[in-house]
Every structure is written in structure tokens, then in C-alpha cells.
Amino acid sequence: MALIDPAQIRNVGVVGHGGSGKTTLVESLLHAVGATNRLGKVDDATSILDTDPEEQKRRITINIAIASFTHDGTKINLLDTPGFLDFAGDQHAAMRVADAAIVVVDASAGIQVGTQLVWRELDDHKTPRVVVVSRLDRENADFEQVLGQLREAYGIRVVPLHVPVGEHQGISATIDLLHGQILKGPKEPIAEIDKAQADSVGQFRQQLVEAIVETNEDLLTRYLDGKEMSYDELRDALHAAVREGKVIPVVATSSSKNVGYTALLNTIREMLPSPAEDTSIIGKSPTGAETARKTDPAEKLSAFVFKTLADPFVGKLSYVRVYSGTLHHNSQVYDAVKGETERVGQLFFLRGKEQEITDAVGAGDICAIPKLTATSTNATLTDKDAPILYDPIAFPPPSFSVAIDPASKADLDKMSTALHKLIDEDPSLHVRRDDATHETILSAVGESGIDVAVHRLKEKFGVQVEMRTPRVPYRESIRAKAQAQGRYKRQTGGHGQFGDCFVEVEPLPVGSGVVFETRIVGGSVPRNFWPAVEKGIREQALKGVIAGYPLSDFKAVLYDGSFHQVDSSEMSFKIAGSLALQACVKDAQPYLLEPIMDVEVVVPEEQMGDVLADLNSRRGRVLGMDGAGAGHQSIKAHVPLAEIFRYSTDLRSMTGGRGTFTATLLGYEQCPSHIAEKVIAAHEEKVEEGAAAR
């Protein structure tokens, strides 16, 4: 198969609010150009793009789906992305390798929360885009109203390029404002507009032409002088303006009426940038020096893995964007991240789950590689003699966590491996072991992300887990000095056990951990038993004394004791050290510390009052507020971890899904007495239950 010229490739992410019709749009495009022989439908679970069982059950997109096809000599790779915030990781991954975006807006709903969030993301990365107003056949659809909302929210750079002919069920075609033509289906003839139609869309054409000429001095001068400009001149100027983000065209579509797809395909081909226009791709050498590659199939190979699908039967499938050089089947590539060589067997172009085998993939194109052994998401594949590293995808931080326990012994044996595969597939998931609570914590962007991950563990990997709210990883500490004896004596047949030590504890500043010293005089405790005493103290500190949480920020001093020539042993002194610490702590004014999180909440200005009141109700200390752009405010606060386990869900409810937050551990502070008393009482009750069971 001949390589495709990068200038003839378009890599486009399809983004927008969840349920706005993104997948339906891509399915309809594939069917309209003859790339598929059936029109899949999301609501009927027959979509060729949403193939995951969870996607079919929920009727939403969860994973990136690639739809590759060729139309009028242009290779188009559409990356259908999730619209729901809980699965935003795949949206970030898709836009990391896309050169442009299609923002889908529902004609009956207008600008929604997901539209606002993705628009901010595209602005941050200066991504060229086109807006598609979808579902214009619906009764409450209004193209002009949506266009007005877009221009009011995002400025006059948003302009109509293709407007509908007719409305609601009577929509029949679109008018190309630039060319003055009526466009129907991809295989239907093009017609010129008459004077009446030209007059009816004159206002829209004026908006478009004015937006174009304002980006080009020569055209602006001619426009002001009343001179004519050719279609080719306006088209080329619009292409440059779209690439630079100075103009954002709007296209009208209706899936059920098969309207707007010729217009959209023309817009993708003529207005959106190709990989060839990004002449230099910047990466880093293994030494950290900045280096660049050209978008050229003859260059040294560099390719980026932006998605990994883990299948327990087929194996891994890696989605790859080739930035330079040519990727060949049956070849060797070098994983510059892990420093390992991988064998590339087959190469596929994807159309949902359909696979088209290819011998080679050139610069600018997107493909899939099955069964790579070590390579995972964010890897850079290169020639071994010319390695380069590309920046990893910036996945959204997790904001919702649960503790998970294996449902059975068999699940315990498989859980670790299954979790590793799950995270390889979705790096926005995080798994960690909490040393303080001895829990396995699974974190995701939102509650639905957790739910899907747990279902995948069961259905894909045969691992069933039980979920619960994580315990708060409190810590214990002391306020005062105290001394106590730890004495352990047990007589059995033969040698007995004897260990005796006197220990003094005193508080240290927060963050000091556990410090052990000795002040033995005269050999009351032989030197060879000192490490055993220290070990006993440190192990007991990890278990805690008053509430079962790690004890820290104190110094323990071994200053006296006694031993037996025959019965003393390391084990007996280890137990004695543990007993001494327990006795000391009870007289050292112990207290509980709770983790405090450094929280930043970004919310629309109109919801500031509700969010601030809620943070105060969670024992939060608001530090300040700053503007976050586009009518949003950033609130910074310190909030106890115990109060924000479900904050992700509550914040979305308060703000209609428009609020986001991040939280990082700031440190530990003394827990309020009424809360500490409950925690200590719960621990004592658990200890008593355990003793009774024995």
C-alpha cells in the first residue's frame, strides 16, 4: 500500500457535551461516504464505534474510537471522544494527537457544560476547530439561536460557513456561504443558489466574509475598496485563519435527514490543517535537550502511543500517531521511555472495531499495533539509533476514590495483575496502597469512572471486588514527655522469655517521624538487644496506640532496663519495647492528627456563594479567590480529607457539572476532639470485638 502524503491527511478529534450526537455524527459520515455498509445507532447499541459492553449498556462513549476513511483523495482520521467528564482522560488523549477539533453542539440544547469545558481546553492548547450544530431536524432546534449563543460566548470569530435550508423536519440541504452553492448528500448534485436564497443568507455571508478579510490585510483593503475577491482567495485565507484560531466556522447538520455531511467533509478537507503544516515536532533527546523532527515519511521514525486497550483474550492493542518517518510491519522499534526493543507484527487502520491491515504507516497518520509486550500509553517509539521522547499526555487528576477489597481468595490472587492492566488501558485511573489504613485505594476522575472500572475488572479480567468509602488515614502523636517500663516475662518448659526496658518519649515537630536513641549506662541492657527494643517501638508506632493509626513525630529514648543471662532474647526485648511505648503514650497526652488537603475549586462566578458556603460547612478554611477566565473563579482552601471523599459528586450537583477541583495533601493538623473521640471509640470497640472472637 502506498504511503499517504501528510498534506492529504486530517486528524480530527470529535468533542463536545455528552449526548450531543458526536458518535452519531461520525457513524453517519462513515455511512455517507460508503466506508460502512450499515448505519450504526447508539440508542440501539448497534454502533460500530461504541463496542465496549459498558458503552453499549450505558449508551455513551467511554473509550476513544478511531474512524479512518478516505474521501476525495484525503485520508481522514476522526477520533470520537467521550463527552462525560468522568471519562475525560480519553478526550485528553485524543486531542493530544489530533491536529484540529470538531465541536458538536446540539441544536435543541445549545451551549452546554461539556461545550464550555472542552472549549476552554481547546483554547488552552490553541487547537483549530470547527463547530457542528447537530440534530437540526428536531422540533425545538434553532440554528440561528445557537449561532447567536456561540458568538455571544466566544466572540465574532465564530461565523457560519454552511447554514440550513428549511428547518426541523423540513430541513433538506445546506448552503455553502463561501461558494454560493446548495449541498445535499455526498452523492447528490450541487446546485447554485438563486437570488432569493442569496438575499436570505446575506447577513450570514457578510459575517463570514468580514471575519475572513480581517485576518488578511490585502483582502481587507480590497474589501473596503469594494473590489471582488475570488472563492479561492477567500478559501485560502479562511484556511489560514482557522489554522491560527482567528476564525471558527460553523456547519449545520442533521443525521436523520442526511443533511450537512457534504458540507462537513468539505470543511474538514479544505479548512482544517494537515500534519504537513506542523513542519517541526518538538521532543527531547535522552539527555533532555530539545530536539525536533520533520513531518516527513523519509525522516527517522518517531511515533507516540496515546491509547492502550487491554483484552484478556486478544492481548494489547496500542493506538499510535506517527509523527515522523515510516512505521513498517514485521519491524523492530525502540521504546524510548522504557529503553526496550519491541517487535511490530501487524499494522491496522481502524474503523471502530473493524481493522484494515496495512504494510506501512507514514508520518502524520494514525494506526493501531497489536500485542506490543512492554510498551504502554505515553511511550515514544523510535529508531534505536535516533531516540526522541515526546511529552506525555496530561491526564486530569483523579477526584473520586474508593477502597476496594477482593470478594474471595481467588480474586485476591488475580487482583494486582488485573489492576495493572486496567491502569495500562486507562491512565486516568490510579491505584495505591495506603500504609496507614492498609487499604487498596482506587481513584478516578468521577464516580462513574470508578463504576466502569469495577465492572471491567469483573467482566474483562474475572476479578470481583467490593467497594467502600476509604478510611481517613489519621495519625497519632503526643504532646508531653512520659516515661514507662516495658517488662515481658514468660516461663515455659526449657528457656523462658525475659525482657525489661525503661523508655522515655517526648514530642517532636510535625514531620519528624520516629527518632530512637539510647542512654544506657553500665550495661543494664546489653548492646545487642538495643536494636530489638527499637524494632519493637517502631513496629508498635506503625500499628498505633490509641486509635490504630501510625504514631509519629516523637523521640523514644531507651535509658534503663534489666536482662536475664539465659532467658533474655531479641524477641523478648522487642515485645518489651512495644509494651513500653504503649505505656508511655497513655501518659504523654496522645492526640489524633487528620490529613488536610490543599484544594482549588474552579466554578462559574454565579455559583461562588453556594460553593463557599459548602466549603465552610466542610470545615474548610478559604484562603482566597482569583479570576480563572471565561466567567469562572478559582477558590483556594484548606479542607480536611474526611470532608471531601464525595466532593466530586457534590460539586457537580451544585454547579450543574461546571465546577472542577483538585486536591493535594498539604499536611496534618490536630483533629477536633469530638471527631477524635468517635474515631478512638470505634477502634476500641473493634479491638474488643476481636478479643471476644478469640
Residues 45-97 have pLDDT tens digits of 788 888 888 888 888 899 999 999 999 999 999 999 999 888 999 999 999 99
Q: Do the domains at 280-382 and 402-452 have one common CATH topology?
A: no
**CATH fold of the domain at 6-277:** Rossmann fold (3.40.50)
d(CA 434, CA 550): 12
d(CA 532, CA 518): 12
Query: Maximum CA pair distance of the chain?
Result: 113
Sign of CA dihedral 136, 142, 146, 148: positive
**CATH fold of the domain at 280-382:** Elongation Factor Tu (Ef-tu); domain 3 (2.40.30)
Given a cut of 80, whether residue 693 has pLDDT beyond it is no
Distances in Å between the Cα of 113 and the Cα atoms of 85, 380, 395, 409, 470 are: 10, 34, 19, 44, 30
Distances in Å between the Cα of 199 and the Cα atoms of 202, 251, 586 are: 5, 19, 89
Lowest mean pLDDT among 129-138, 251-260, 358-367: 251-260
* SS3 of residue 1 by DSSP: coil
378 Rama sector, left if φ>0, alpha if ψ -120 to 50, beta otherwise: left
d(CA 133, CA 251): 6
- pLDDT (0 to 100) of residue 85: 85
Closest by CA to 378, choosing from 392, 364, 365, is: 392
Given a cut of 90, whether residue 306 has pLDDT beyond it is yes
Number of CB atoms found within 10 A of residue 99's CB:
23
d(CA 621, CA 548): 28
Cell of 154: 466566544
What CATH number should be reported for the domain whose range is 402-452?
Answer: 3.30.70.870
At 71, which helix (H) or strand (E)? Answer: strand 65-71
- pLDDT (0 to 100) of residue 378: 95
547-585: string of b/e by CB count within 10 Å (b at 16+)?
bbbbbbbbbbbbbbbebeeebbbeebbbbbbbbbbbbbb
Cell of 573: 526485648
**Which distant-in-sequence residues (6+ apart) come within 8 Å of 28 by Cβ?**
39, 255, 258, 261
Number of CB atoms found within 10 A of residue 610's CB:
14
**CATH fold of the domain at 593-674:** Alpha-Beta Plaits (3.30.70)
- pLDDT (0 to 100) of residue 217: 92
Whether residue 250 contacts residue 260, with contact meaning beta carbons closer than 8 Å, is answered with: no
Number of CB atoms found within 10 A of residue 612's CB:
18
Distances in Å between the Cα of 657 and the Cα atoms of 64, 134, 446, 650, 654 are: 22, 22, 11, 10, 8
Q: What is the pLDDT of residues 425-475, one digit of tens each?
A: 889 999 999 888 889 999 999 889 999 999 999 988 899 999 999 999 999
Sign of CA dihedral 562, 563, 564, 567: positive
Sequence ranges of the domains in the chain: 6-277, 280-382, 402-452, 476-588, 593-674
Given a cut of 60, whether residue 1 has pLDDT beyond it is no
Q: Which residue has the cell 503514650?
A: 585
**Amino acid identity at 312:** P
pLDDT band at 630 (very low <50, low <70, confident <90, very high): low
At 278, which helix (H) or strand (E)? Answer: none
Angle of CA points 444, 449, 455, to nearest 5°: 120
d(CA 102, CA 44): 24
| DSSP assignment of 279-317 | -EEEEE-TTS-EEEEES-TTSPPEEEEEEEEEETTTEEE
Q: How many residues does the chain have?
A: 694
- pLDDT (0 to 100) of residue 494: 67
**Which distant-in-sequence residues (6+ apart) come within 8 Å of 257 by Cβ?**
136, 137, 169, 171, 172
Lowest mean pLDDT among 67-71, 576-580, 688-692: 688-692
Whether residue 9 contacts residue 268, with contact meaning beta carbons closer than 8 Å, is answered with: no
Q: Which residue has the cell 494486582?
A: 416
* SS3 of residue 424 by DSSP: helix
Q: Which residue has the cell 484494515?
A: 356
What rounded mean pLDDT belongs to the chain?
91
Whether residue 525 contacts residue 562, with contact meaning beta carbons closer than 8 Å, is answered with: yes
**CATH fold of the domain at 476-588:** Ribosomal Protein S5; domain 2 (3.30.230)
Q: What is the pLDDT of residues 312-352, one digit of tens each?
A: 666 789 999 999 999 999 999 999 999 999 999 999 999 98
| Percent of the chain's residues with pLDDT above 90 | 66
Q: What is the pLDDT of residues 184-223, one digit of tens each?
A: 866 676 778 888 888 888 899 999 999 999 999 999 999 8
Cell of 129: 476547530
Closest by CA to 29, choosing from 63, 76, 73, is: 76
150 Rama sector, left if φ>0, alpha if ψ -120 to 50, beta otherwise: alpha
